[in-house]
Amino acid sequence: MNSLRARFFLWLSISLIAVVALAWVGGMLAARTLTETYIHTRLEHDAENLLLALDFDTAGRARLDAARIAPIYQRVFSGHYFVVVTPRDTLRSRSLWDETISAPAGTPEDRAFHMQGPQDLPMLALLMRYEKSGQPVEILIAEDVSEFQELAQRYLVGFGLAGALLLLLLLALLQVLVRHSLRPVRATVSQLRAMQAGEREVIDTRVPDEIAPLTREINNLNRSHTRRLERSRTALGNLAHAIKTPLALARQSLQDLPEARRRDLDEAIDRIDQSVSRELKRARLAGGALARHRIPTRELLQDLAGVLDRIHGERALRFDIDIPTEHVLIGDAADLSELFGNALDNAAKWARHRVRVRCADTATRHCIYIEDDGPGIDEAESAQLLERGARLDENVPGHGLGLAIMQDIVKEYGGELALERSALGGLGLRICLPRQGEGWA
C-alpha cells in the first residue's frame, strides 16, 4: 500500500473501530454492573426485612410475620424467592410453591451470584448470615433477572446500532479530514508536474513543516542543476573554440604538402572535428533537467526552416509546416533546436522540391513527421542506418549525418526515433517525445 491517504485512512479507521468496540464492550459491562448493583442493594434490603419479620417461639421454632413480608413473595412464581434456614426450621417463600432454591457449597456471604431458579429462569441470588435471639440464621434470597437481561440486550443492540451509525459518520468525516490534510501534498505534486512541464520555475515552500524540507531541497536541486548546466555549456563552448581553432590552423598548414598527403591528413582532421563536435553536442544535452520550458513547435520549426531556406536558397525548396499554432513541446530549447535542426537539414539536403512537417499526437506522445520528396532509402537501409547511428558512426554520407546526436536527444527525453518511407516518395523521419514529461529520465 503506497498511498499515504490510504494508510492514514486505514490506521485511523482501525483506531475508530477499536474505540467504538471498546465503548460497546464498556457499555455492556457498565449496564451489567449497574443492574447487578441495583438488584444486590434491593436483595440486601429484602433480607433485612425478612430478618425483622423472623421471630422464635418459646420452643425455639422459627416463624415469619406475614405482615412484614412484601406481597411479591406471596405470589406464586413471581420471580422473587427466599429461603430462611435456622437450626430447627427451613422457611420458604410462598412464591416458590413446591420448589426450592439452595446456594452452592462454599458460597461466600454478602456476595451476589448467578444461579438457575424455578422454571429454569436466570436468578441473581444473595446469601446472608445473621444471628437473632442467640440462634444462627441463614437467608438465601433471589430475584429473576431475565427481564433485566432482555432490557440490557435491547440496550446493547440499540447502542451497537447507534455506534455503527456514529462509526460510519466518523469514517466519512475522517475521509474528508484526511483528504483535506493531504491537500498541500497534492498541491506540491501538481506544482512539480507544472515545473516538469515548464510552466513554473520553482515550487511553493509555504507548506506544512513535514514537507517543507522536501520542497526546499527540490528547489535547491533545480537551481543547482540549472547553474551546472549553464556552466557546463559555457565551458563546452570554450572548449569547442579552443579545439576548433588549432584544427583550422592545422588544416591551413596542409596547403604546402603534397596532394595525397594533404588529402589523408585533411580526412583525419575532419574525423577529429566530427568526433569532437558530436561529443560536445552530446555533453550539452539538458535531457533530464528537472525544469523544462514550453516551446511553441510551429514557431521553432518555422525559424529552423527559414535558416535552411536561406542556406539552400538556390534550390527553391518549399517547406510546408503543417503544425497547429497552439502545439507546444516541453523541453530544453537548445535540445529541441539541435534535434529538429538536424532533422530538417537532413531532409533539405536530399529533397528535390519539398519538405513537409506534420504532427500526429497520441494520448501520451507528441509525434512529429519530417518528410522529403528525395530518393529515400529502403527498409533494410533504414535499419542499417539506425544501427550505425546507435554506434555513433556519423561517417555514412547523406541521411547518417547528425543521426547519432538526434538519437541521443530522443533517448534522453524517453522518446522514439524511426525512419520510414515518406508519402512524398523520399525519407520519412518520425520523432516521438512524451507529452508533459511522461517517461523522461
Contact 36, 112 (CB under 8 A): yes
* 28 class by beta-carbon count within 10 Å (0-12 exposed, 13-18 middle, 19+ buried): middle
Residue recorded with cell 457449597: 105
- Please provide the average confidence, as pLDDT, over all residues in the chain: 82
Residue recorded with cell 426450621: 89
The β-bridge partners of 238 are none
Indicate the pLDDT class of residue 395, thresholds 50, 70 and 90: very low
Comparing 6-20, 51-65, 111-125, 231-245, which segment has the lowest mean pLDDT? 231-245
Cell numbers standing for residue 43: 436483595
In this prediction, residues 95-121 reach a mean pLDDT of 87
Main-chain phi, psi angles of 238, to 5 degrees: -65, -40
- Give the predicted TM-score (pTM) of the model: 0.47
* 8-state DSSP, 12: H
Q: Which of 238, 237, 277, 232 is nearest to 408 (CA)?
A: 277
Comparing 265-269, 281-285, 305-309, which segment has the lowest mean pLDDT? 281-285
Alpha-carbon distance of 73 to 135, in angstroms, equals 24
Q: Which of 276, 311, 39 is nearest to 149 (CA)?
A: 39
Q: What is the DSSP string of 121-134?
A: -EEEEEEEEEEETT
**Which pLDDT score, from 0 to 100, does residue 140 have?**
93
Alpha-carbon distance of 268 to 255, in angstroms, equals 15
The residue with greater pLDDT, 398 or 120, is 120
* 415 class by beta-carbon count within 10 Å (0-12 exposed, 13-18 middle, 19+ buried): buried
Count the neighbouring beta carbons within 10 Å of the beta carbon of residue 99: 12
Question: Is the pLDDT at 286 greater than 60, yes or no?
Answer: no
Residue 61 three-state SS: coil
The residue with greater pLDDT, 427 or 282, is 427
CA distances from 268 to 177, 246, 254 (A): 71, 14, 12
Give the CATH number of domain 190-284; options: 1.10.287, 3.30.70, 1.10.3470, 1.25.40: 1.10.287
In whole angstroms, what separates CA 23 from the centre of its chain? 32
Q: pLDDT of 212-247, one tens digit each?
A: 888 888 888 888 877 877 777 677 767 776 777 777
Q: Which of 285, 356, 279, 280 is nearest to 322 (CA)?
A: 356
Count the neighbouring beta carbons within 10 Å of the beta carbon of residue 13: 16
The residue with greater pLDDT, 181 or 196, is 181
* 378 class by beta-carbon count within 10 Å (0-12 exposed, 13-18 middle, 19+ buried): exposed
pLDDT above 70 coverage of the chain, percent: 87
**Which pLDDT score, from 0 to 100, does residue 431 have?**
93
Cell numbers standing for residue 329: 513541446
Indicate the pLDDT class of residue 278, thresholds 50, 70 and 90: low
**Which pLDDT score, from 0 to 100, does residue 285 have?**
59
Q: pLDDT of 363-387, one tens digit each?
A: 889 999 999 998 887 766 776 666 6
The residue with greater pLDDT, 356 or 105, is 356
**Contacts for 343 with CB less than 8 Å, ≥ 6 apart:** 370, 402, 406, 429, 431
Question: Is the pLDDT at 123 greater than 50, yes or no?
Answer: yes
**Contacts for 152 with CB less than 8 Å, ≥ 6 apart:** 28, 31, 32, 35
Specify the fold of 293-437: Heat Shock Protein 90 (3.30.565)
Start-to-end CA span in the chain (Å): 25
Residue recorded with cell 411479591: 72
The residue with greater pLDDT, 367 or 1, is 367
Residue recorded with cell 449496564: 31
**Which pLDDT score, from 0 to 100, does residue 111 have?**
84
Selection from 238-247, 277-286, 321-330, 382-391 with the highest mean pLDDT: 321-330
Question: Is the pLDDT at 151 greater than 60, yes or no?
Answer: yes
